[in-house]
Amino acid sequence: MQHCVFDPQLVQSIVDELKITDLAKATIGQASLLASALEQRTGIPFIRMDQGVPGLSPCKIGREAEKAALDTEIAAIYPAAEGVPELKEQTSRFIKAFINIDISPEGCIPTTGSVAGSFGSFIITSQCTPGKDTVLFIDPGFPIQKSQLKILGIPFEQFDIYAYRGAALRNKLEEYLCKGNICAIVYSNPNNPAWTCLEEEELKIIGELATKYDTIILEDLAYFAMDFRRDLGHPFVPPYQATVARYTDNYILMLSASKIFSYAGQRMAVACVSDKLFNRKYPALAERYSGAGLFGITFINSILYMITSGATHSVQFGLAAMYKAACDGEINFVEETKEYGRRADRMKRLFRENGFYVVYDRDVTEPIGDGFFFTIGYPGMTSGELMRELLFYGISSITLNTTGSEQEGIRACSSRMTEKLFDVMEKRLKAFHADHPIATK
């Protein structure tokens, strides 16, 4: 490793200081802390691919609306658990404009980021029906969601979709669903970390099986409309964001402001419950919470309110304004976020030129697009080995095995790449490649 940027002994010493017992299993937070510590200790900048932090300016319309809301002194008033009417109405409209499905405003519930939304969703879905208490992950996925289930003590199952795309997904899902204990199925679309996108055939399979086995789908749309292979940025005209909601009534959609409006710091999202599920009565919920047992009301008042006591008042008005502007055609948030795709395309080319390959490289019928995340492997290296070796060359990441993937490689994020870093990345990847020659048969 004669071309290393960071001394391996220094890296190991900071790993020890941070009490990271196994780099191959390091969390997103641990990987981020390690890279930051090395930067601070040496003054040498890292290529930061570890944490999915937005790399664009926050939407001005949201900021101005939030400032105006604060000027009304609402900061002194507790927000209602169900959310302010303006946000609920604009969320319903936004869903119609960009997904072309109908969800009533009452089912659009603000949460303190989608992390709080999934936390609450895991609680309620695991309590609806006795005997159905296990969550199924279609992996790879967001590691934090499994951590939430560990906190809650809710059991979960998981499988890597890599070998089960298209029609093969049906039999794989039924292996789990036929047991009768799966209460919810979770996935992100576009996918974090692979950036794969479920196609209509797959979403139809998921929806049909959700209805057949009475299972609730938790569809994480954190990267909403960021499949840049299609122009999804025009309200009320096709093409629309793909969703399982076309194929079942058993769903909660999680819409986050973090990436599409670069509004991550304000922790704002909306959990959108289908009308039929919102109004469905579950005897087990009625017994547990001494109420009517209605899914939506229980979700809002008995669960989400107990987690955060409502979502920050002023930010709700900020998100409402951004949704309204998008629906009115005043902003094209998709055009803004396409910058991530341009960065990913350049990053992938640099990796490929230096012996790397894209791990999850295809959807069912076409190559994956370029966006916020992608996955990278290197011949002959495990996930942990690659993540560790790249650290010595000033490139941080997380391993695929921490996301539920059975493939070897790392997750790369394009969000924090800037123009001046591309030359740095190229030099470091060339150095890595020179120090790690690929064996030829």
Two tokens, residue 141: 């996925």
pLDDT in tens, 326-380: 999 999 999 999 999 999 999 999 999 999 999 999 999 999 999 999 999 999 9
Give the whole-angstrom CA distance, residue 260 versus residue 54: 9
Q: In the chain, how long is the greatest CA-to-CA distance?
A: 71
Give the whole-angstrom CA distance, residue 192 versus residue 31: 17
Where does residue 328 rank: exposed (0-12), middle (13-18), buried (19+ CB within 10 A)? Answer: exposed
pLDDT in tens, 219-259: 999 999 999 999 999 999 999 999 999 999 999 999 999 99
* Residue 34 and residue 15 in contact, taking contact as beta carbons nearer than 8 Å: yes
pLDDT value at residue 320: 98
Give the H or E element holding residue 216: strand 216-220
Nearest to 227 by CA among 324, 372, 108: 372
Give the whole-angstrom CA distance, residue 154 versus residue 218: 15
Instruction: Say how many C-beta atoms besides its own lie within 10 A of residue 153's C-beta.
Output: 8
pLDDT value at residue 428: 94
pLDDT value at residue 1: 61
State the pTM of this model: 0.94
Nearest to 95 by CA among 239, 235, 305: 235
Nearest to 340 by CA among 220, 188, 199, 190: 190
Give the whole-angstrom CA distance, residue 359 versus residue 376: 5
Which CATH number fits the domain 8-56+333-435, given the four candidates 3.50.50.60, 3.40.50.10440, 3.90.1150.100, 3.40.50.720? 3.90.1150.100
The domain locations on the chain are 8-56+333-435, 60-327
Two tokens, residue 152: 């809650």
pLDDT value at residue 12: 84
How large is the C-alpha radius of gyration of the chain? 22
pLDDT value at residue 44: 87
The CATH class that applies to domain 60-327 reads alpha beta
The DSSP line for 217-228 is EEEE-TTTT--T
pLDDT in tens, 372-407: 999 999 999 999 999 989 988 999 899 999 999 999
Where does residue 279 rank: exposed (0-12), middle (13-18), buried (19+ CB within 10 A)? Answer: middle
